[in-house]
Amino acid sequence: MPTCPQPPHPPAAPAATMPAAVGLAGPGGVGKSTTARALAASMPFVVVPISTPIKAMMQALYEAFGVDGETIRRKLDGDLKRVPCAVLGGRTPTYAMQTLGTEWGRNLIATDLWVRWWRREAADCVAAGLVPVNDSVRFAEEADAVHELGGVVVGLAGRGDLAADHASEHGVPADATVTVAGAPADVAAAVLAVALTTIGGSAGNLGED
């Protein structure tokens, strides 16, 4: 089932300079998902996390072990993501999702496994007049998918508390960079401003004091 929400009425046509898609890149803990949600607080942006099918698989595993829904939510998206988990033999949910996405999905099945899913969902959003946001661009294929739609990959910098010891944390080149500071709405505004500048033909670097 498509995850892109259908607006209750056709949205107004975006300005000609509006990027057709936005990808957020940067180290773990920098605030990519938080910034994406702040962007999506207003039309026409909608978050399409490329991790959706990975988290669905993890949810099914936890449900099979009888873990309750709220605890699952905390393990996949909350305060238990980086806490060792008995179900996972002492590994953290973050580690499980990293290795499920990369070592299993990309390396053993198909390099473009997850990005094919994202392209399909993003295309549905574009058809509905919305701007899809990939809240975690980690590999070149994912950046390419954003660019193919006429979008911009914006790197977030300035913080990040996770060591880049996994292939999915090594980063990708961004079209522009925003320094994370201030409230999520401020960072989202900076991302939009630099994306508009970049789509107009020149890459930028916008920091917040």
Summarised one tens digit per residue, pLDDT across range 32-44 is 989 999 999 987 9
Residues 6+ apart with CB under 8 A from 32: 24, 25, 26, 135, 136, 156
pLDDT interval class at 163 (50, 70, 90): low
* Global confidence as pTM: 0.81
Q: What would the two tokens of residue 86 be? A: 């008995």
170 or 25: which leads in pLDDT = 25
Domains of the chain and any CATH numbers: 22-50+114-207 (3.40.50.300), 53-109 (no CATH)
* β-strand partners of 16: none
Residue 25, pLDDT score: 92
Does a cis peptide bond (omega within 30 degrees of 0) precede residue 44?
Answer: yes
Does the structure show a pLDDT above 60 at 201? no
